[in-house]
Amino acid sequence: MQYFNLHTHKFTNNPNTLELVNQFPWEFDNNIPHYSIGIHPWYIDEKRWESDLTIVEEKLKQSECLALGECGLDKRIEIPMTVQIEVFERQIALAEKYQKPIVLHLVAAFDELITIKKKLKFTVPMIIHGFSKNEQLAKQLLANGFYLSFGKYLLRNPDLKEVFQSVPNDRFFLETDTIEETLESVYALAIKYKGMSLEVMQNQVQSNWENVFGK
């Protein structure tokens, strides 16, 4: 039975895990078999982002590229929100063009995200990685069609237990992002919180993966 890692910056080459490895257009590694690629809001460079978008589009054409991202919005950085939104909306358009899901980085900009979704009426699945907020926000995002991925904060914040338990089983993913802990440790806590066996959890995440990524 296989594990699925929705978002990681570390390629482990574990034969039992399908890893969606985050890649940046300016430092691309051709040796990674499954990846997402996008312009993270932290790294928007106004002198370079047009050429970065060109690289992102080229990679989205490849079968090894399973998703666009991580990309999104972050109100706690100095890059103007107008610039972040422009780059984000350009990436959404590419994801729609090539019908690839989007892995999202969102910090304090959930209202803006929902507004953009309603405005652009895009159809590709969108997954908010590293979810760490409350049940009310989780329900609002789920109602607007988003998936939620859990990892670091699930391990480190016991208050997320009830939030995770409230998420329908067909709408969550699990991930490691940049943490040192293993994906197996994330699965173990998810199993405990959901009251599932490992086999049932693996089957559920695999089903969610196939629904979003088609493979």
pLDDT in tens, 26-39: 999 999 999 999 99
Structurally, at CATH architecture level, domain 3-213 sits in Alpha-Beta Barrel (3.20)
**Residues facing 95 on adjacent strands:** none
Residue pair 209/8 in contact (Cβ under 8 Å)? The answer is no
pLDDT band at 113 (very low <50, low <70, confident <90, very high): very high
Task: State residue 47's pLDDT score.
Answer: 93
Q: How confident is the model at residue 195 (pLDDT cuts 50, 70, 90)?
A: very high
Which candidate, 179, 55, 95, 86, places its Cα nearest to that of 129?
179
Give the rounded percent of residues in the chain with a pLDDT score beyond 70: 99
What is the average per-residue pLDDT within 98-113? 97
pLDDT per position as a tens digit, 118-163: 999 999 999 999 999 999 999 999 999 999 999 999 999 999 999 9
**Which one-letter amino acid corresponds to residue 86?**
E
Residue 1's pLDDT is: 59
Q: What are phi and psi of 162, to 5 degrees?
A: -70, -30
Q: What is the mean pLDDT of the chain?
A: 96
Q: Where are the domains of the chain?
A: 3-213
Rounded mean pLDDT, 61-67: 97
pLDDT confidence of residue 56: 98
Question: Is pTM beyond 0.75 here?
Answer: yes
With a pLDDT cut of 90, the percent of the chain lying above it is: 99
Query: How does pLDDT run across 160-178, given as a tens digit for each residue?
Result: 999 999 999 999 999 999 9
Q: How far is CA 15 from the centre of its chain?
A: 21
- Separation of alpha carbons 115 and 99, rounded Å: 21
**Nearest CA-CA partner of 22 in 162, 130, 110, 160:** 130
Integer distance in angstroms from the first to the last C-alpha of the chain? 15
